[in-house]
């Protein structure tokens, strides 16, 4: 499905009924990364999974995509669907950065928060330089230049060994994005603010999920967020890397169902 949001047409999936859960994908992915949640959780919630601008089937726009801009897009998406009651926002990695930006601006629109494979801190100096190098490679060589470096570290070593078909599927998802989208997100992530001071202020039910084998964001980030966010729950999934919701969909969905049942 498609809906007009600000200056672009946004693609999204919607399934199920009940409490809306807004799933925000990571980089350089798109809404297809939530396919096991759309199919596995539609009996317990109303699943909403948009493609952020420039990703998947959403139109790209030029310029930097700040995490705040992407949070504004998500709020406008809820408006377009006429959802005025609070929703659960579930973001993975970059989607988690957007979730924290969403909380900063739209806390009253949230009934709960799910932070998956993410971290609150900003990019380090080296991290920012890495964004510039990645952007230069993508400008020269296209989307593939973003796919290859990510594909080698996105998953648990066990997933690479045992599930080549899942690895191939994830590669295809990453290929279905635009150069403008990738550049916009790289620059937006590079400039994102430090959300660490926000953590102690969060006044919502929070579930933190992380893969034990995450090679991109170490699980100690999840443990520190758990310590800082009052009343938060933490689950570290075994045999899962950065894309734990696709590598361990059953364990992931069970954790979400348990959390949603408490709201
Ligand atoms: C993601 O999965 O969204 C990215 O790894 C986040 C990042 O590059 O900081």
Distance 202 CA to ligand 1 centre (A): 22
Q: What is the mean pLDDT of residues 215-233?
A: 98
- Best probe residue, ligand 1, of 24, 26, 65, 193 (max atoms within 8 Å of C-beta): 26
Closest atom, ligand 1, to C-alpha of 150: 5
Å from CA of 214 to ligand 1 middle: 11
Please give the pLDDT value at position 72: 98
Length of the chain: 263
Distance 162 CA to ligand 1 centre (A): 24
Residue 180 burial (10 A CB sphere; 0-12, 13-18, 19+): middle
Task: Choose one of 135, 147, 153, 216 to mutate for the ligand 1 pocket test, by most ligand atoms within 8 angstroms of C-beta.
Answer: 216
- Ligand 1 centre to CA of 230 (Å) is 25
| Nearest atom (ligand 1) to Cα of 123 | 9
pLDDT tens-place string over residues 175-187: 999 999 999 999 9
The Cα–Cα gap between 244 and 134 comes to 24
CA distance 34 to 20: 15
Average pLDDT over residues 105-111: 98
Phi/psi of residue 249, each to 5°? Answer: -60, -35
- The ligand 1 atom at the shortest distance from the C-alpha of residue 216 is 5
H/E element, 67: helix 67-80
pLDDT digits over 64-102, tens only? Answer: 999 999 999 999 999 999 999 999 999 999 999 999 999
Task: Write down the pLDDT at residue 76.
Answer: 98
pLDDT of residue 125: 98
Q: According to the model, what pLDDT value does residue 221 have?
A: 98
pLDDT tens column, 148-177: 999 999 999 999 999 999 999 999 999 999
**136-149 average pLDDT score:** 97
R_g (Cα) of the chain, nearest Å: 17
Q: What is the mean pLDDT of residues 129-156?
A: 97
Q: Which of 24, 27, 31, 128 best tests ligand 1's pocket when mutated (most atoms within 8 Å of CB)?
A: 27
Cβ < 6 A, ligand 1 pocket: 26-27, 93-94, 189, 216, 242
| The pLDDT value given to residue 118 | 98
Tell me whether residue 253 is exposed, middle or buried, using C-beta atoms within 10 angstroms of its C-beta: 0 to 12, 13 to 18, 19 or more.
middle
Q: Whose CA is nearest to atom 9 of ligand 1?
A: 94
Q: Whose CA is nearest to atom 4 of ligand 1?
A: 27
Q: Which atom of ligand 1 is nearest to the CA of 27?
A: 3
pLDDT confidence tier of residue 260, bands split at 50, 70 and 90: very high
> Which residue CA neighbors atom 7 of ligand 1 most closely?
94
Whole-prediction pTM value? 0.98
% of the chain at pLDDT higher than 70 = 100
Q: What is the pLDDT of residue 190?
A: 98
Mean pLDDT across 45-62: 98
Give the mean pLDDT of the chain: 98
From the CA of 25, give the closest atom in ligand 1: 3
């Amino acid at each position: 499905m498609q809906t007009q949001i600000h200056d672009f047409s946004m693609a999204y999936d919607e399934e199920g009924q009940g409490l809306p859960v807004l799933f925000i994908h990571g980089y350089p992915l798109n809404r297809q990364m939530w396919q096991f949640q759309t199919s596995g959780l539609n009996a317990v919630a109303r699943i909403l999974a948009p493609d952020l601008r420039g990703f998947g089937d959403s139109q790209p726009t030029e310029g930097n995509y700040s995490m705040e801009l992407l949070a504004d897009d998500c709020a406008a998406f809820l408006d377009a669907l006429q959802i005025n009651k609070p929703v659960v926002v579930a973001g993975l990695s970059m989607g988690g950065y957007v979730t924290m930006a969403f909380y900063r601006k739209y806390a009253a629109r949230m009934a709960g928060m799910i932070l998956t494979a993410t971290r609150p801190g900003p990019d380090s100096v080296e991290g920012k330089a890495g964004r510039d190098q990645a952007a230069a490679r993508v400008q020269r060589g296209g989307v593939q230049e973003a796919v290859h470096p990510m594909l080698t570290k996105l998953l648990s070593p066990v997933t690479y060994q045992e599930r080549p078909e899942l690895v191939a599927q994830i590669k295809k998802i990453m290929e279905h994005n635009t150069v403008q989208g990738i550049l916009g997100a790289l620059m937006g992530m590079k400039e994102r603010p430090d959300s660490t001071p926000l953590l102690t202020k969060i006044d919502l039910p929070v579930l933190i999920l992380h893969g034990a084998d995450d090679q991109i964001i170490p699980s100690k980030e999840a443990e520190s967020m758990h310590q800082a966010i009052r009343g938060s729950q933490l689950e570290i999934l075994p045999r899962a890397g950065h894309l734990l919701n696709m590598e361990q969909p059953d364990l992931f969905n069970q954790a979400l169902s348990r959390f949603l049942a408490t709201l």
